[in-house]
Structure 1
């Protein structure tokens, strides 16, 4: 990978990691579903008038928008509001990798490898450690919603696989813009029903911190991040680009410590190590095994 592309990849994962602290700042004034509505409205408009709708079946586009946007971020923002620190949220959400594998087995008939199963078990041990420290900045409800958000992301990834099978050259930025448009109406309806006055009051006298948080989430994390990432995936194999996402929780904890003053206790480091080790096992296990496997001499000829 060329140096400038390497730096771009690092910039994007840093933006995505710090994004969790930015979300926490935005949630101080804006309601969780209100933040989601603002995100999807600004990610969709005015861009839908300039970016063509992706050439994929409408049912797949709708499934993508509802799962990977409306459901995932509705659960993520609500979970972070009611009881999940920004750093831990950046970690728990990475479970989407294993939910993607599990749903692919159930829905697409794929067979998981021993590395994927081992990695999932290791990562969920890390989640168990987080669950053992419920109280204070982490609540059981918040943890459950974050796991649900990771599952929704995994479901969206399965839809993405179906989309790529339909159109291998689909415009990823177009998916983001049009998926945001699809996510907007259901999330707005749910916000008006569940949050009511809180939702409407969120945007009254919006301070610069909340406005800046929304701008960061929409323009840097969503539009810029996905545009650059899709460009990198077009230039290099997935196996070259994907490992950079392992740094998202690292930047997540750094961002939450610097911007929010969140403490990083030993148990958080251990939980992070377990989850990241599980992700590494899933990503690099097969290649490491092949590289270290001893050569086996062919059996002697019987002739």
Structure 2
């Protein structure tokens, strides 16, 4: 089995995406203080698509793949995720639960693309999910069941969107993001009108504060354009099993950011969970070195055992 490692430049790019998306949970939490979830999604998608669709060409792919990408990666993922936080799931915990998409992504990639992960990558992912298990064992009563279910649905939507990403030959990763948001925008406007109603929509838009505007700017131009543009490039450049484990670091940023900016508690168990998550990722990244070490140990046995 061929082992693929990231270049140093692409490693830094992946870590930048982790930082951007980890802090995005704080921006979502702030935005939901004044906007209902589906309206916040619609505003995000609209600003992410317009006017950029008039500048960036449509990706070269059948329309069904672009529609699938837009609906799963944006409309469904963020519709579910924003609703989960709206129903009481904390930003830090939401950033963690969403990482179940790692298992979904690797499984779907194997099912549809025969993108088979190595045993070492599977082992590294299991190390990381010890950290997730630590968090699950400390879930408090403040976490609602519906919020947990919605976040799991968001995770599956993100994983499905990753499969469509690999099907689309975009001229640039950013063009795929922009056109994907264009697909999601009218869908989410319709959902917002049906579920939240025009009265709540108008009231939210008329009474928006500057801090909500800053949160929306972050989710649109930093999280969406920078984050998903870079992510699309990485997913198309490397096997899914190489890129997806990086998202396991997002909860670390989410926990620390929520503690610093929102006053969310950061007890010792969260730090232990973060160490396991990072340890699993490092194990994935050093797969090539681990294989070399095992080969050396096997070939060059000590004299006493010859």
- Provide TM-score, normalisation by structure 2: 0.81
Give, in angstroms, the shift of residue 245 of structure 1. 5.3
Q: Rate the CA distance shift 1:8–1:130 in 2: closer, same or farther, 3 A.
A: closer
> For the Cα contact (< 8 Å) 2:166–2:235, is it kept in 1?
no
Q: Provide the residue aligned with 1:263 in structure 2.
A: 265
After superposition, the C-alpha distances for 1:27-70 in whole angstroms (9 at most, x for unaligned) are 11111111110100000111111111111111111111111111
Q: Rate the CA distance shift 1:136–1:257 in 2: closer, same or farther, 3 A.
A: same
Give, in angstroms, the shift of residue 266 of structure 1. 2.7
After superposition, the C-alpha distances for 1:123-156 in whole angstroms (9 at most, x for unaligned) are 4444444344343442222122222211111111
Give, in angstroms, the shift of residue 215 of structure 1. 1.1
Select the residue among 42, 59, 79 that pairs with 1:54.
59
> For the Cα contact (< 8 Å) 2:177–2:229, is it kept in 1?
no
Where do 1:187-226 residues align within 5 Å?
Answer: 187-196=188-197, 197-226=199-228
Matched residues in 2 for 1:220 and 1:297: separation? Answer: 49
> For the Cα contact (< 8 Å) 1:91–1:272, is it kept in 2?
no
Matched residues in 1 for 2:222 and 2:172: separation? Answer: 18
Aligned partner of residue 29 in structure 1, secondary structure: coil
Q: Rate the CA distance shift 1:180–1:262 in 2: closer, same or farther, 3 A.
A: same
Deviates more, 1:43-52 or 1:284-293: 284-293
After superposition, the C-alpha distances for 1:132-184 in whole angstroms (9 at most, x for unaligned) are 43434422221222222111111111111222xxx3x6311000100000011
> For the Cα contact (< 8 Å) 2:128–2:280, is it kept in 1?
yes
How many residues of Structure 1 are paired with residues of Structure 2 in the alignment?
291
After superposition, the C-alpha distances for 1:2-40 in whole angstroms (9 at most, x for unaligned) are 89x987766554332211111111111111111110100
Matched residues in 2 for 1:159 and 1:122: separation? Answer: 28
Cα root mean square deviation, aligned: 3.2
Is structure 2 residue 113 aligned with structure 1 residue 111? Answer: no
Q: Rate the CA distance shift 1:271–1:247 in 2: closer, same or farther, 3 A.
A: closer
Aligned partner of residue 167 in structure 2, secondary structure: helix
Give, in angstroms, the shift of residue 203 of structure 1. 1.7
Aligned partner of residue 48 in structure 2, secondary structure: helix
Matched residues in 1 for 2:115 and 2:94: separation? Answer: 28
Where do 1:70-81 residues align within 5 Å?
Answer: 70-81=75-86
Q: Provide the residue aligned with 1:15 in structure 2.
A: 20
Which ranges of structure 2 fall in alignment gaps of 5 or more residues? Answer: 1-6, 301-306
Q: Rate the CA distance shift 1:223–1:121 in 2: closer, same or farther, 3 A.
A: same
Q: Rate the CA distance shift 1:250–1:124 in 2: closer, same or farther, 3 A.
A: closer
After superposition, the C-alpha distances for 1:232-266 in whole angstroms (9 at most, x for unaligned) are 899x9789988865543333222211211111123
Q: Provide the residue aligned with 2:4 in structure 1.
A: none
Which ranges of structure 1 fall in alignment gaps of 5 or more residues? Answer: 299-303
Q: Rate the CA distance shift 1:287–1:92 in 2: closer, same or farther, 3 A.
A: farther
Where do 1:1-303 residues align within 5 Å?
Answer: 12-163=17-168, 167=169, 170-196=171-197, 197-227=199-229, 247-281=249-283, 283-284=284-285, 286-295=287-296, 296-297=298-299
